[in-house]
Structure 1
């Protein structure tokens, strides 16, 4: 627990640095492009547009749980795209930057969190487009349940920080882990309820209960419940407690491994 407290202190104590580095990295990533930072917003909008064309006018029509399928799908796919990008980027954040930070006094633990921050721009852009689609295509209007998206956003960030600290450390200790993680995220894309509504009678109840334990599933379904449903997060106490136990587990294990091997990161790479 002492390591977790140290980790949290490093995160909050270096918020200014993290935001500045995140902003610098965004500019450096797109400095050779004609449109520059416009791509930070244009790319996610294009992704949503593709799914709109495929599922809105092509393969899938109808409703999911009484809600227009396209609206249901884009609200869920928005946090997934964000979480998927953060998980994969953060897993190699220390590996790519440890040589630089080893030459200066810099808290390495903030490198994964920087990826959580730097991907927020595309997340906000996708969320706005998703709400726009839900409003005009599905006839969804704001209600009091929308306020709980703040909770799910907070839960998503906490999960990503904890999971990223763990992944970024394991990726250095085990070289093959990043390849495994990429395959895992591809599999979770279909198992996290991004495209399919598992919470229906069409799927076996035991299988649905297993899928619901997935933290990504919890976040995705939570965003949908906030924007499209009529349930509060505390009405699912078991799933909520399970989610936060996952966060605590990866935070404890990840911070322990991080501080145990941090002095050897350069040698391990």
Structure 2
């Protein structure tokens, strides 16, 4: 049963990617343009106007926005997947958690193409691939698990309170500004750096830049804590979706 379910998720992910490509030739291009436009705005404000960016701010910002776009897409697309497929939830005998997984895997496949482009851009900017790249799959696994856990929690609640998705968008914007996506943690006042270190997003951002820009391996202790938090969130989110699953078909009516 589990094998067939995994095959169904993988095939549905492939079908979703093909359908998206057929619907719009700008699908993947827009996935690049959206963070690129935001990155341009932040670079203009912090580096050009305020002069607070520093010499490495552009690659720093590029890495942060690329990873954040992936995390945000997994949380929002996965989080809205059950709500947007309520009619199908009523018609097919599948665990509802399948729908968020398909959305998140689809976004992850797109991220891999974007990341390959990012590596090429960084190389051209003087940051070639290095020996620390072997740690990237471990880092990406922790990031995906964290985003998936948050997405599962959102996916379980949004069908019951659809208007909550507007709040979630605002919450994610606040998280972005408080997680070192657009500024280095070193610029945080010393008295608050310990608080930033508790933020899983800030930890993975710092580790990703260390690998891609400086050839440094991640802080394994910090990354281990992120992994533990991510697994706990996945367990809580999965359990919540499972417990609320009988209510979703009734909502579709």
- Regarding TM over 0.5, the answer is yes
Deviations 1:63-115 (A, max 9, x none): 968x6221111112111101111111111101111321322222221111111
Superposed, which structure 2 residues align to 1:136-151 within 5 Å? 136-137=124-125, 139-151=126-138
CA contact (8 A) 2:46 2:53 kept: no
For residue 113 of structure 1, what is the aligned residue in structure 2? 101
For residue 165 of structure 2, what is the aligned residue in structure 1? 178
CA contact (8 A) 1:48 1:130 kept: no
Root-mean-square deviation (CA, aligned residues, Å) is 2.7
Q: Distance in 1 between matches of 2:215 and 2:53?
A: 15
CA contact (8 A) 1:98 1:108 kept: no
CA contact (8 A) 1:55 1:70 kept: no
Structure 1 residue 215 displacement after superposition: 2.1
For residue 6 of structure 1, what is the aligned residue in structure 2? none
Gapped runs of 5+ residues in structure 2? none
Deviations 1:114-171 (A, max 9, x none): 111111243123212222222122x112221111111111111222222222110021
Name the SS for the 1:194 alignment partner.
Answer: coil
Superposed, which structure 2 residues align to 1:241-252 within 5 Å? 241-252=224-235
Superposed, which structure 2 residues align to 1:185-224 within 5 Å? 185-198=172-185, 200=186, 202-224=187-209
Superposed, which structure 2 residues align to 1:12-161 within 5 Å? 14-33=5-24, 35=25, 39-47=26-34, 49-50=36-37, 60=47, 68-137=56-125, 139-161=126-148
Name the SS for the 2:216 alignment partner.
Answer: coil
Structure 1 residue 53 displacement after superposition: 5.3
Gapped runs of 5+ residues in structure 1? 1-8
Name the SS for the 1:107 alignment partner.
Answer: coil
Q: Distance in 2 between matches of 1:51 and 1:136?
A: 21
Q: Does 1:260 align with 2:215?
A: no
Q: TM-score, normalising length from structure 1?
A: 0.81
CA contact (8 A) 1:225 1:231 kept: yes
Superposed, which structure 2 residues align to 1:228-247 within 5 Å? 228-233=213-218, 235-237=219-221, 239-247=222-230
Q: Distance in 2 between matches of 1:102 and 1:229?
A: 50
Structure 1 residue 219 displacement after superposition: 2.3
Change (3 A) 1:13 1:78: farther
Number of aligned positions between the proteins = 250
Change (3 A) 1:55 1:244: closer
Change (3 A) 1:175 1:206: farther
Structure 1 residue 51 displacement after superposition: 5.7
Q: Distance in 2 between matches of 1:63 and 1:145?
A: 28
